[in-house]
């Protein structure tokens, strides 16, 4: 049996093709949701839109300090795995849920498969970097999206059990874009016109929990919107919303919305002139959708996007954000998508199926 452990928005989206593939092959599998994300707009909406079955197990861990949150997950995941005895635990990405899933499984002697293995930004001040390094070193199956990721692992001595599959985000985009085009009326709802607006997201701990950096991000976005004379939409992560209020920051000139469902967000991205973000998944989607991107961080674990000129790093200085935005507005958008052919889930599940223990 394959146990899929997930808990946050990007994991639900990026694991959805894996769940679908398990269903298609009629493979014995279960989904365990840690409850790291729990607000409707960060969690339930994706199960509904992506037509995913309810998780078989829900831990309802909720928010908390890193140790507290990860510790609760560890306890809960261990209980489920001890009872269910899966052959493989699959985790995706770099969240606390991933670390807890990989650690609980490996201590029980259950094989761990890490989807999106081998990403590195080489900044250990980011909680995500710690999580992804540890998850990789706990895994027996490492599903890398690209050769760059494979090389990162090789540098750390991990060469066995590494399989290049592409990133399941390509599968997710392809599986949902047509549906999104048919179903979403987000442009109409927000009063936007194709190619005449900008989209931004920001939620990284190091950006939004630091008043100076968050102020830089907001001022940068205001500046870009002003200079390019385009509406800028910021679907706002709950962490960011909370901090904007707490720090008393003014967001005049920016169109703040609730976090959007996947179908609306895909349409918003696909039709925008430029995307500004600190999100990992959004950097990838911008690249896949051929929309130029500016990343409001000092480093990225998605250097493939920079290499094809789909993305530029800007940090959080407003002047630099606006300079990079102007540059990216001029870029030719016919780059090659480095993240695969949309069949990553097929490869991942096929490999897991071939590695399951035979009965008896």
Smallest gap from Cβ 246 to ligand UD1, in A, equals 11
Number of chain positions touching ligand UD1 (CB under 6 A) = 19
Show contacts with ligand UD1 in window 186-205 (CB under 6 A): 203
What tokens were used for 263? 């179908």
Residue 189, classified by CB atoms within 10 Å of its CB into exposed (0-12), middle (13-18) or buried (19+), is exposed
94 in contact with ligand UD1 (CB under 6 A): yes
Smallest gap from Cβ 254 to ligand UD1, in A, equals 19
Question: CA dist 298 to 13, 214, 315, 334, Å?
Answer: 26, 14, 5, 25
Show contacts with ligand UD1 in window 29-48 (CB under 6 A): 36-39, 42-43
Lay out the sheet containing 88-92: strands in order across: 57-58, 29-33, 2-6, 88-92, 111-115, 141-144, 162-164
Question: CA dist 171 to 9, 75, 146, 193, 225, Å?
Answer: 16, 32, 15, 27, 32
The site map against ligand UD1 for 50-69 (x = CB under 6 A) is -------------x------
- Residues with a catalytic annotation lie at 203
Residues in contact with ligand UDP by CB under 6 A are 9-10, 13, 201, 203, 235, 259-260, 262, 265, 279-282, 285
Angle between helices 211-228 and 318-329 (to 10 degrees): 40
User: Closer CB to ligand UD1, residue 132 or residue 150?
Assistant: 132
What, of ligand UDP, ligand UD1, none, does residue 259 touch, CB below 5 to 8 Å by kind? Answer: ligand UDP
Among 16, 34, 92, 96, binds ligand UD1 (CB under 6 A): 96
The residues, any chain, with a CB within 8 Å of residue 350's CB and separated by 6 or more, are none
The site map against ligand UD1 for 115-144 (x = CB under 6 A) is ------------xx----------------
User: Closer CB to ligand UD1, residue 39 or residue 175?
Assistant: 39
User: Closer CB to ligand UD1, residue 128 or residue 219?
Assistant: 128
The site map against ligand UD1 for 210-239 (x = CB under 6 A) is ----------------------------xx
User: Closer CB to ligand UD1, residue 22 or residue 260?
Assistant: 260
SS3 content of the chain, % helix, strand, coil (to 5): 50, 15, 35
Show contacts with ligand UD1 in window 260-319 (CB under 6 A): none
Phi, psi of 139 (to 5 degrees): -95, 150
Rounded to whole angstroms, the Cα distance separating 328 from 290 reads: 12
Smallest gap from Cβ 206 to ligand UDP, in A, equals 12
Smallest gap from Cβ 26 to ligand UDP, in A, equals 27
What tokens were used for 198? 């900008």
User: Closer CB to ligand UDP, residue 9 or residue 152?
Assistant: 9
What, of ligand UD1, ligand UDP, none, does residue 300 touch, CB below 5 to 8 Å by kind? Answer: none
Smallest gap from Cβ 160 to ligand UDP, in A, equals 27
Question: 262-265: long-range contacts at Cβ-Cβ below 8 A with a sequence spacing of 24 or more?
Answer: 262/13, 262/45, 262/46, 262/49, 262/50, 262/172, 262/176, 262/180, 263/49, 263/176, 263/179, 263/180, 263/183, 263/184, 264/180, 264/184, 264/186, 265/186, 265/235
Tell which residue, 39, 53, 49, 50, has the closest CA to residue 8.
39
Pick the stretch among 12-20, 88-96, 133-141, 340-348 that binds ligand UD1 (CB under 6 A).
Answer: 88-96
Among 2, 3, 10, 172, binds ligand UD1 (CB under 6 A): 10
User: Closer CB to ligand UD1, residue 36 or residue 322?
Assistant: 36
Tell which residue, 247, 260, 259, has the closest CA to residue 208.
247
Residue 119, classified by CB atoms within 10 Å of its CB into exposed (0-12), middle (13-18) or buried (19+), is buried
Task: Point out which residues bind ligand UD1 (CB under 6 A).
Answer: 8-10, 36-39, 42-43, 63, 94-96, 127-128, 203, 238-239, 242
């Amino acid at each position: 049996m394959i146990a899929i452990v997930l808990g946050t928005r990007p994991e639900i989206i990026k694991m959805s093709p894996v769940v679908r593939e398990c269903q298609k092959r009629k493979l014995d599998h279960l989904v365990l949701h840690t409850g790291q994300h729990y607000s409707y707009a960060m969690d339930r909406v994706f199960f509904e839109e992506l037509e995913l079955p309810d998780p078989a197990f829900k831990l309802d861990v909720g928010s908390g300090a890193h140790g507290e949150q990860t510790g609760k997950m560890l306890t809960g995941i261990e209980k489920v795995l001890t009872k269910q005895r899966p052959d493989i635990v699959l985790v995706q990405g770099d969240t606390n849920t991933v670390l807890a899933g990989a650690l609980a499984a490996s201590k029980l002697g259950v094989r761990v498969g890490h989807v999106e293995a081998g990403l590195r930004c080489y900044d250990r001040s980011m909680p995500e970097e710690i999580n992804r390094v540890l998850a990789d070193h706990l895994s027996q199956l490492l599903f890398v999206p690209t050769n760059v990721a494979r090389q990162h692992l090789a540098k750390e001595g991990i060469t066995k059990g590494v399989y290049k599959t592409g990133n399941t985000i390509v599968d997710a985009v392809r599986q949902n874009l047509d549906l999104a085009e048919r179903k979403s009326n987000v442009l109409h709802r927000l009063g936007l016109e194709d190619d005449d607006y900008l989209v931004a997201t920001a939620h990284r701990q190091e950006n939004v929990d630091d008043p100076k950096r968050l102020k830089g991000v907001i001022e940068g976005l205001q500046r870009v919107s002003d200079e390019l004379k385009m509406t800028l939409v910021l679907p706002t992560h709950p962490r960011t919303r909370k901090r904007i209020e707490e720090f008393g920051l003014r967001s005049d000139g920016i169109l703040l919305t609730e976090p959007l469902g996947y179908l609306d967000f895909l349409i918003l991205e696909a039709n925008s002139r430029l995307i500004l973000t600190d999100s990992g998944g959004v950097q990838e989607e911008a690249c896949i959708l051929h929309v130029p991107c500016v990343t409001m961080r000092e480093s990225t674990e998605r250097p493939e996007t920079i290499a094809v000129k789909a993305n530029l790093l800007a940090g959080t200085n407003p002047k630099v954000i606006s300079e990079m935005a102007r540059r990216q507005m001029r870029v030719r958008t016919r780059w090659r998508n480095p993240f695969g052919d949309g069949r990553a889930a097929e490869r991942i599940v096929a490999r897991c199926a071939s590695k399951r223990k035979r009965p008896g």
